[in-house]
Copies of this chain bind each other. A is one copy, B any other.
Amino acid sequence: MPSYTAPTKDMQYILHDVLNVSGRDIPGYDELDREFTSAILEEAGKLAVQVLQPLNVVGDQQGCKLENGVVRAPEGFKAAYDEMRGGGWTGLDMDPDYGGQGMPNIMLTATGEMFSSANMAFQMYNGLTHGAMSAIHAHGSAEQKASYLPNMISGDWTGTMNLTEPQCGTDLGLIRTKAEPQEDGSYAITGQKIWISAGEHDLSDNIIHLVLAKIPGGPEGVKGISLFIVPKFIVNEDGSLGDRNTLSCGGLEHKMGIHGNATCVMNYDGAKGFLIGEVNKGMRAMFTMMNEARLSVGLQGYAQGEVAYQNALAFAQDRLQGRDVTGVKAPDKAADPIIVHPDVRRNLMDQKSFVEGARAFAFWGSTLLDEGHRKQDKQAEDLVSLLIPVLKGFLTDKGFETTVLAQQTLGGSGFTQEWGLEQFVRDARITMIYEGTNGVQSLDLVGRKLGLNGGKTVMDFFELVKGFIKENEDNTALKEDFLDPLKRASKDLQSAGMYFMAEGMKNPNNALSGSYDFMHLFGHVCLGLMWARMAKASMAALEAGDTDTEFHETKLATGRYYMARQLPMTGTHLARITSGAEPVMALAAANF
C-alpha cells in the first residue's frame, strides 16, 4: 500500500524563503506569515494524510456505480467529504460575503497540492465545484450569487462544468445543446454532454451544473454560445430545494484512471436553465476561470509526481539488491539498498528535481494570479496568462513522466496493483488531456499568448530572467552552476521565439509545428529560473547562519542536478523547432 507525507516543510520554504509572500504588497498577503501558513498547511496535511489518502486505493478499486439513475461514490467518500467541508476547505479562497474564508489563491494552491497527491479523484469533486463557484461569482447576478454561492461554499452543494459533447471537444463552436427561451425568463436546455466530472454523485444535496448551450437563431460557432446554470434540484425563492430538474446521468465512462470520480454522460431534456452573464458571451465567461482551472490541473500533474516519488524513494531505500560498485554499503545485509546504484539515483533525482521545481513554479504562478486579481496588476495578470499553458502542459507532461519513472524504480513491483504506483500513472494520465489537451495548450501559447500585448508580455518574461541573472551575477557560487545554464536555456527560448516570428510570418505552420517543443522549452526555462531562485535563497540562508544546513545543501544539490541534467533539453527542443514545418507537413494526409 502506498503512503503519503505532506511536504509542508518544502512548501513553507517556497512560500517564505523563496517567494517571501508575507512581504509582498498584495492585498491579503500581509497575514500570510510563517505561523499562519504553517497552521493551515499542517491542518490540510493532516486531512490529506489521514482522511483522503487511505481512500485513494478504495476509490480506484471500487469506482463509482450508477444504479437507477443514482451514482454512488466509493465507500468512505461521503464521510471524507463531510469532514473536508466541515473544516471550511471548500470555501478557502471564496468571498467572505457568501461565507468563504477569503484567502488568496496561493493557499488554495498549496493545500490543493496535498489533497490532489492524497486522492486526486476525490479532490476533483472540489475542483469542479470551485470552477462553477468562480463562474457564478464572476458573472452571476446578485440574486444568483445569493441563491447559489453560500451552499456551494459550505459544500452542501457541488458544481460541474458542461462543455464537451460527442462531436465537440476542443472545437466548441460545434456545440449542439440547445437553450430555448421560456416565458418565465428561464431557458429549456436540451442536449447531451459527455465526460462531465462529478456530474452525478451522492456527496451533496444538490449539483449546480454550468452548461454551455446555443440559443436558437444566434450566431454560428463560438460566438453563439451562452452559459447557463442548470441545477439538479431547482432552488426555491426561500432557498429550499424544489423540483427535480429534467436532467440525468445517462452513463458512466469506463476510464484508465480516476475511478473514484464519476465521469458522466449528462442528458438534458428540456431542463430548466438560467442564463448567467450575457447572451452569446458564454465562451468569455468560461475564459475568465480558465487560468485558475488550468493552473490547478498543472498542480495535479506534479502532485501525482510527488506522491509517486515519495513511494519510489521509500522503496529504493528499503529494497536490497546488488552491491555498490565503489564499495559495499551494507555489509551486514545480503545486499545494499538499491539507492546506492547510480542509475537508480539518476531516476530518483529526475523525479525529485522536477517535483520541487514544479512546486516552486506553480506557487509562483499562483502568486501572480493573486497579484492580478487582488491588486488589479495588469502586468502580473498578463504574465500569468502567458505562463498558464506552460504550467498546465509542461507540469502535467512531466508529472506523468515522473509517475512512470517512479513506477520504474520499483521494477516488477511497480507493475502490480499492490504497491499502488501504477494507479498514480493511470490517474496522472488524464491531466495531459482534460482542461484542454496539452497540444491545445501549446497552440494557446504560440498562437495567442506570444502575441499578447504585441509581444510585450513575453519580452517582460525575458527581461525578468535577464534581470535576475544580472542582479546576481556577482554571486560566483550561483553563477556557474545556475545562472550560466539558465542564460543558455533562456537564449534557446528566445531563438525559438525569433524563429517563430521570422518563419511563422511566411507560413504559420512553421510556428505551429514547433508549438509543443516550445511549450517544453519554456517549461525548462521556468524550472531553471525557479531552481536559480531557490539556490539563491538557500545560499542566503546558509550564509545567514540557518542551522538546517542539510535542508539547504540538499536543495542546492537537487538544483544543480536539474541544471546539469534536465536543462540541456532546451537545445534539442530548439533544434526540433528550427527544423520547421517541412518535415512535419511533408506527407499528404492520405499517405500516412
Interface range on chain A (Cβ under 8 Å from partner): 35 or more
The reply to whether A557 and B587 contact each other, CB–CB distance below 8 Å, is yes
Task: Check A509/B326 contact, CB under 8 A, given A345-B584, A516-B346, A575-B568.
Answer: yes
CB contacts (< 8 Å) of A572 on chain B: these are 568-569, 571-572
The reply to whether B586 and A561 contact each other, CB–CB distance below 8 Å, is yes
The reply to whether B443 and A343 contact each other, CB–CB distance below 8 Å, is yes
The reply on A464 being an interface residue by CB < 8 A is: no
CB contacts (< 8 Å) of A581 on chain B: these are 342
Q: Complex Cα distance A400/B583, Å?
A: 23
A281-321 Cβ-contact flags toward B at 8 Å (1 or 0): 00000000000000000000000000000000100010011
Copies in the complex: 2
The reply on A508 being an interface residue by CB < 8 A is: yes
CB contacts (< 8 Å) of A456 on chain B: these are none
CB contacts (< 8 Å) of A417 on chain B: these are 254-256
CB contacts (< 8 Å) of A438 on chain B: these are 408
- Dominant secondary structure of chain A at its interface with chain B: helix
Least Cβ–Cβ distance between A316 and chain B, in angstroms = 8
Least Cβ–Cβ distance between A572 and chain B, in angstroms = 5
A555-566 Cβ-contact flags toward B at 8 Å (1 or 0): 001101100110
23 A-B pairs within 8 Å (CB atoms) are namely A167-B320, A171-B322, A171-B335, A254-B416, A255-B416, A256-B415, A256-B416, A342-B581, A343-B439, A343-B516, A347-B516, A349-B583, A400-B404, A404-B429, A415-B430, A553-B591, A554-B592, A557-B583, A561-B586, A564-B583, A565-B579, A568-B575, A571-B571
Residues of A within 8 A of B (CB): 164, 167-171, 173-174, 194-195, 253-257, 313, 317, 320-322, 325-326, 334-335, 337, 339-349, 352, 400, 404, 407-408, 411-412, 414-418, 422, 425-426, 429-430, 432-434, 437-439, 442-443, 507-509, 512-513, 515-516, 550, 553-554, 557-558, 560-561, 564-565, 568-569, 571-572, 575-576, 579, 581, 583-587, 589, 591-592
